[in-house]
Structure 1
Amino acid sequence: MAKTQRLDIVTPEKVVFSEEIDFIVAPGVDGELGILPEHAPLVTALKVGSLRVQQNGKFFKVAVSGGFMEVKNSRVVVLADTAERADQIDVERAQAAKQRAEQRLGNKSAEIDVARAEIALQKAINRIKAAE
């Protein structure tokens, strides 16, 4: 039997996923990290991106907007600011959020929080890409 590892994806609101998996690729702040069962212990910050998870030979994505990942004893815990499985993403809502962020960035008003608008744009684009 193939070895597996436990994956728990948790946000402040809920547990998004908690099952055995084969493999995960996560968007670490210093690059992508591939984690197999029995990986060496590590803790890393995550950036906005998609987790690519292999379970029973099939891949699925989870859009995350930052957080942390801990790997220890064939268990991966992702503590994410937000996390959403690709099959549950409302693409129309994500596209609307992308348009709003682009409009805010296009408006050169001093009242616009540019950093916040850029993060909103990154999150919306990430959700759209994950859903594809």
Structure 2
Amino acid sequence: MTLNLRVMAPNRTVWTSEAQEIILSSNSGQIGILPNHAPLLTALDIGVMKVRIDSKWTAVALMGGFAQIENNQMTILVNEAEKASDIDPKEAQEAFDLAETSFNQAVGRKQTIEANLAFKRAKARLEAVNAKY
């Protein structure tokens, strides 16, 4: 038995496939989804979604959004998403280093919030591209 997965960003469909297992970051922590999961609607945090198709895992960096599952149909609506295979590892590391420096040097509430979001995005991209299974 499988799940039908669809990941959509505002300007494109990022991913459409069947999957045996999905792990993603919700606002309350990581959740795992298997076939015949109870209906669920949850907010997603910035983080990495892991998808198992047959015995192969694939990572996708998600930039926040919502996930709904019902009747083995999972729809994920995100602000933006990138498959790990589309991310340049060197660029992801450089972006992470820059975001970390900016976060550590942030002054004031607004700058700290903006730097934290940039750091979380860069961290998700780096974790996706470096995912080992």
TM-score when scaled to structure 2? 0.88
After superposition, the Cα gap between the structure-2 partners of 1:61 and 1:108, relative to the gap in structure 1 and judged at 3 Å, is closer
2:75 equivalent among 69, 74, 77: 77
**Are 2:106 and 2:115, in contact at CA under 8 Å, matched by a contact in 1?**
no
**AA of the residue aligned to 2:17:** E
Deviation per residue, 1:24-75 (Å, 9 max, x gap) = 0111111111111121111000111111111122111111111100001101
1:61 correspondence with 2:59: yes
Task: Measure how far apart 1:101 and its partner are.
Answer: 2.0
Q: Output aligned runs, 1:1-132, within 5 Å.
A: 3-107=1-105, 113-132=111-130
Task: Kindly report structure 1 stretches of 4+ aligned residues shifted beyond 3 Å.
Answer: 106-110
Q: Once the two structures are aligned, what percentage of the paired residues are identical?
A: 33
Separation of aligned partners in 1, 2:2 and 2:104: 47
**AA of the residue aligned to 1:54:** R
Task: Measure how far apart 1:97 and its partner are.
Answer: 1.9
Task: Measure how far apart 1:108 and its partner are.
Answer: 5.0
Separation of aligned partners in 2, 1:52 and 1:10: 16
Cα root mean square deviation, aligned = 1.8
**Are 2:103 and 2:119, in contact at CA under 8 Å, matched by a contact in 1?**
no
SS in 1 for 2:119: helix
Task: Measure how far apart 1:106 and its partner are.
Answer: 3.9
TM-score when scaled to structure 1? 0.89
Query: Which has the higher mean CA deviation after the structures are superposed, 95-104 or 34-43?
Result: 95-104
Task: Measure how far apart 1:77 and its partner are.
Answer: 0.6
Deviation per residue, 1:61-112 (Å, 9 max, x gap) = 11111110000110111111111111111222222222332332343556x7
Separation of aligned partners in 2, 1:109 and 1:42: 39
